[in-house]
Amino acid sequence: MSVPQMFSAEEEDILHVTTPKKTYEKTNPTTLKVSSNETIHFLTPTSSQSLQSTSSNANSPDITPKTRSLIHKIIEFPSTIEPGIKPKKLFSNTSSNTNILIVHQKKLLMSKRVTICKLKKNLISSKLQNKHNKSVNFMNLLKFPSQDSKTFVGMQISRHNMSTKPWSQKEQQFALSLFYKSPSAYKFLRNSKIITLPSLTTIKRWIGSSNFHPGFNTTLFKQLKIKADSMTIQEKHCTLVFDELKIKNFLEYSKYLDLVEGYEDLGPKGRTNKLAGQAMVFVIRGLYSSWKMPISYFLPATSVKHQILSELLVEAITQLFKCGFIVKALICDQGVSNVAAFKDLKITKEEPYFFVESRKIFALFDVPHIFKNLRNHLIKKDFIFEDKQVSFKDIKKTYELDKNSSTSRALLHITDAHISPGPFQLMSCKLALQLFSNRVVTAMQTCIMTGQLDSQTAPQTVQMIKKLNDLLDCLNSSSLFNSNPSKCALSDKCPQQLELLEKAKGWFKTLKTVSPNQKNTRPVCFDGMEWTINAMILLFEEQKKNGYQYLLTRRVNSDVIENMFSVFRQRGGYNRTTFRMNVKSSLMQPSSLSNCEPDDDTHLFNSDINDLSGNQFEGEESSSSSYSSLSLSSIDQEPEELHCQITLEHCSNSYFAGYLSKKCYDKFKCVNCANIISQPDDNSFKEEEFLIFCRNYDSSTNGLFLKRPSSCFTEFVSMAQQIIKKTVEKMPEKKKIRKFICNKIKNENNICIFSEPCQDHYTYIIEHLVNCKLLRDFNWKSKNFKTKRAEKAKNNI
């Protein structure tokens, strides 16, 4: 492109430009008007002329076409500034500089504020962490009786300001356990006593989040596999316990599952339109360690059919094998479906085991349930035990003799419910086991010695109950060694246990019942006991081959599932048939009280009851002073003379006196008191000491032998109980009755005199005697109130 050149006079065709003489003033661009007809004119000098001065008035000729074209090209020359981008100002005025400074200061201030906020958050987090560390260190310094108590205290310390920190797994388990025990108590503790606990909404959310469907839950078995991987081989040995619970028919629609719950649901076996009336639960329990875990449940309309039950058992064991557990035994009661399912699995009494994946699984029946069935058959019919007849009438007569005692009793734990059980008492294992106890044996032996029990079947009845008691102790052992030799674990170090089991097999092979038509029959429970004993021996021998030298027989029963069912019934209120939702929502909860002994896998809290001090009711003395004017002529009389014939009541008095003397000596270790209240062991036994003699079992620990009271102390205890009996008959509603009776005994005592230094010991004996007597007698009366009302109603009809 050509560019205009500076004017030069030497060129031939030189363009001469004359400076305009007109001066233009500054004009506002908005007011400047440009005419489209106006044309720019340049003066073109001639080649021979020189530049003219700016003041020249000569007219300039028109611009040439060539120059005009050049000017247009320059005007239309493209700009170096891109369109849409404002040109940058190189210079700004004073106001622009101020604005930039303000913006810069604002940004700096915002940055400082962000830094301060972060520092504050870090400070708060650091304070919380330090506080948590202090609380953790404080908690570690304390000693707690259980893990749950430590969790509870930790909740109160770390959450006193109701922080939003999520609840830990242990805190959730503790809160759920407390809520299932009693929702009303949970609300009271949280709302009234201001104790930090999760809200009811949180509890309900936790319960709703546990969607355990009937059958085998895949997620649960994955968690079991993870847990099994961290366990030792010994901890993996377990038993599979299963049982059924009667539930109420109930239908409920679940919007989360989009189905109606309450119909028969057998998990992998499908659902039907029948209403669920039973709940079958599977629980695994450690054989050598204290743990348990429910793994599945099913909701049949009636009892699960034996064909389906056998398949479910094999499937459950297979799933546990895949998780890594070592299942050694199946345990259940003698339900019809259970026995039939065992037959489907080719299990017999002689060979009480079957194989799953080439592993031997033993099958046993629950021992407490077998004893319950024995008790129920014995009430109806006599037994032929070792070719001699056994009758329940002997037990009943012994109870009647003890029940009519006016002072001490030998069978305080036996009530009318044991002797004449109702429909629900017939299902109680606890009542049956208490009936086949050593206390009943010793009471019957004492009655035989005193001549009060003279039937021909009494001696054999005593022998059978004694052997059943020893067998029960052997099949319910919970420790390796025990002062009672029958309660030791099965091991080669206690060969008498295996000998007892072998003898028991012989007893039950020949055991029969006597029916009214003189035909001897054999109930299923007799074969069940023989089956279980044989399986227990084979299981111990199998475990001994695997390197385990002992077997705790209590871990081979169904107490764990009975305790779980007791929680279900408790959550359903007083009803004994709880509805299906309790089975679902309470499946993972710990056990509480039931009709059997608590299993070793549950922490039980025993609340101590503190005695009220004498000063606590000092203000009520005036209100009860009216009793002082009552006539107690019957109490003021001398105690009745002992009959020449020794009875069970006399023997019970002597036993109770020996108990009091042992308590006093263990507490004070006073030789002077021991000379007054006890007698040397080398003296020959007296007739009134028959009960002490019968209840003394052989032991290697001398401290366990029962104390033998002196004659004067036995007479004193008898006199004191006479005073208690007559006082209670006259004024059972009297306030501070214990204090009144204690003063009366001290005033009337002229039989057993204690020295001045032993007065505190003497007071302790009297107070302990009165406490035991009042507590036991009124407790026994309360247990029999229901029976008395039933008898009255029957007589009125």
Rounded to an integer, the average pLDDT of 702-709 is 68
CA contacts within 13 A on the Cβ side of 402: 30
Q: Choose between 279 and 131: higher pLDDT.
A: 279
pLDDT at 300 over 90: yes
Q: What is the pTM of this model?
A: 0.69
Burial class (CB in 10 A: 0-12, 13-18, 19+), 252: exposed
> What are 238-250's pLDDT values in tens digits?
999 999 998 888 8
The pLDDT-based confidence of 776 (bands split at 50, 70, 90) is confident
For residues 277-287, give the mean pLDDT: 95
Q: What percent of the chain has pLDDT over 70?
A: 74
pLDDT-derived band at 219, boundaries 50, 70, 90? confident
Phi, psi of 691, rounded to the nearest 5 degrees: -65, -40
Mean pLDDT of 660-669: 90
Do the Cβ atoms of 336 and 357 come closer than 8 Å? Answer: no
Mean pLDDT of 292-310: 94
Q: How far apart are the first and last CA of the chain?
A: 137
Q: How confident is the model over 282-301, as a mean pLDDT?
A: 94
C-alpha 319/C-alpha 331 separation (Å) is 18
Look at residue 607 and tell me whether its pLDDT is greater than 60: no
What is the predicted pLDDT for the residue at 590? 42
Is residue 781 predicted with pLDDT exceeding 70? Answer: yes
Whole-number pLDDT of residue 463: 96
pLDDT of 92 above 70: no
Task: Determine how β-strand 326-332 pairs with β-strand 237-246.
Answer: parallel
699 has pLDDT over 90: no
- Mean pLDDT throughout 610-624? 36
| pLDDT above 80: residue 26 | no
Report the pLDDT value the prediction gives residue 612, as an integer from 0 to 100.
Answer: 33
pLDDT at position 594 is 56
Which residues touch 624 (CB under 8 Å, ≥6 apart)?
734, 735, 736
d(Cα 547, Cα 540) in Å, to the nearest integer?
Answer: 11
Count of residues for the chain? 797
Asked whether residue 389 carries a pLDDT value surpassing 90, the answer given is yes
Residue 294: name the closest of 322, 264, 316, 324 by CA. Answer: 316
Indicate whether 85 pLDDT > 80.
Answer: no
| pLDDT of 686 | 81
Contact criterion met (CB below 8 Å) for 684 and 645: no
Per-residue pLDDT reduced to its tens digit, 307-364: 999 999 999 999 999 999 999 999 999 999 999 999 999 999 999 999 999 999 999 9
Across 109-116, average pLDDT: 91
Q: What is the mean pLDDT of residues 36-47?
A: 50
DSSP 8-state code for residue 159: T
Tell me, what's the pLDDT at 584?
A: 47
- Would the pLDDT of 750 be above 70? yes
Work out the mean pLDDT of the chain and round it to a whole number: 80
CA dist 120 and 118 (Å) reads 5
Q: Higher-confidence residue: 123 or 365?
A: 365
Residue 150 has pLDDT above 90, yes or no: no
- Residue 267's alpha-carbon distances to 213, 271, 305, 312, in angstroms, are 7, 7, 14, 10
pLDDT band at 82 (very low <50, low <70, confident <90, very high): low
Q: Which residue has the higher pLDDT, 53 or 720?
A: 720
Rounded average pLDDT over 472-493: 90
Per-residue pLDDT tens for 411-463? 988 999 999 998 888 998 999 999 999 999 999 999 999 999 999 999 999 99
User: Which sequence spans correspond to the domains of the chain?
Assistant: 1-74, 210-366+558-585, 373-555, 634-793
What residues have CB less than 8 Å from 389, skipping those under 6 apart? 382, 383, 456, 457, 460, 514
Torsion angle defined by CA atoms of residues 301, 302, 307 and 309, in that order, rounded to the nearest 10 degrees:
90
The top-scoring range by mean pLDDT among 106-120, 502-516, 531-545 is 531-545
Instruction: Look at residues 650, 652, 706, 646 and name the one whose alpha carbon lies nearest to residue 410.
Output: 652
Give me the pLDDT at residue 161, please: 63
pLDDT over threshold 80, residue 503: yes
Asked whether the predicted pLDDT for residue 35 surpasses 90, the reply is no
CA 492 – CA 547 distance, rounded (Å): 13
The stretch 169-197 carries a mean pLDDT of 84
Radius of gyration of the chain (CA): 49
Question: What is the 3-state composition of the chain as percent helix, strand, coil, each rounded to the nearest 5?
Answer: 50, 10, 40
User: Residue 246, Cβ neighbours under 10 Å: how many?
Assistant: 12
Share of the chain above pLDDT 90, in %: 45
Residue 593, pLDDT score: 46
- Residue identified by tokens 């001897």 is 520
Section 768-787 average pLDDT: 83
